Amino acid sequence: MLFGRRKRRISRLLVVEDEPLVAFDTEHFLTDSGFTIVATVDRVADATALIGSGTGVDLVLADVNLADGSGLDVARAARTHEVPVLFVTGNCPVEAQQLAAGCLAKPYAQRDLLAAIQAIDAVLAGNKPKRMPPGFRLFDQVD
């Protein structure tokens, strides 16, 4: 197809969020946008177990501050399995630059979340992102 949509590299997402309303909204919006949500979990242990299980995950969306620990631990687990992470958080820590593909500041508009995912997808494909949403930082290294 000459003008068809290109295939996404990122299609299967793991959502790690301990705020139920945010998790629900994110899951439904991304599903409606054509993504497959592998799971939505609210605990570090559940996220790291799922990542370690070999379940196909293309991108982890993780809050940094979780009720039972830190999203940084989720990112470390994802990194060992070569799964990129997008932090969605009110306060992006300095360590995030070594662990994640990018960081999107909360609160964010749904279109900005989609644009952040598309920017990471573009980098994974070896391309320059077309649009950088407000409140989004794309880090240099993307695994």
Domain boundaries, the chain: 12-124
Q: Strand pairing of 69-70 and 85-89? A: unpaired
CA dihedral angle for residue 43, residue 24, residue 108, residue 13, rounded to 10 degrees: 60
Each of the 143 residues of the chain gets a pLDDT tens digit; together they read: 445 455 778 999 999 999 999 999 999 999 999 999 999 999 999 999 999 998 899 999 999 999 899 999 999 999 999 999 999 998 899 999 999 999 999 999 999 999 999 999 999 988 899 889 999 999 965 44
114 CB-near residues (< 8 Å, 6+ apart): 30, 33
Residue 134 C-alpha from the chain's centroid: 16
- Cβ atoms of 57 and 15 closer than 8 Å: no
Residue 104 carries which side chain, given as an amino acid letter?
A: L
Residue 44 carries which side chain, given as an amino acid letter?
A: V
CATH architecture of 12-124: 3-Layer(aba) Sandwich (3.40)
**DSSP annotation of 67:** T
The CB-based long-range contact list for 126-133 (8 Å cut-off, 24+ gap) reads 133/104, 133/108, 133/109
Q: Residue 52 in 3-state DSSP?
A: helix
**Threshold 0.75, pTM exceeds:** yes
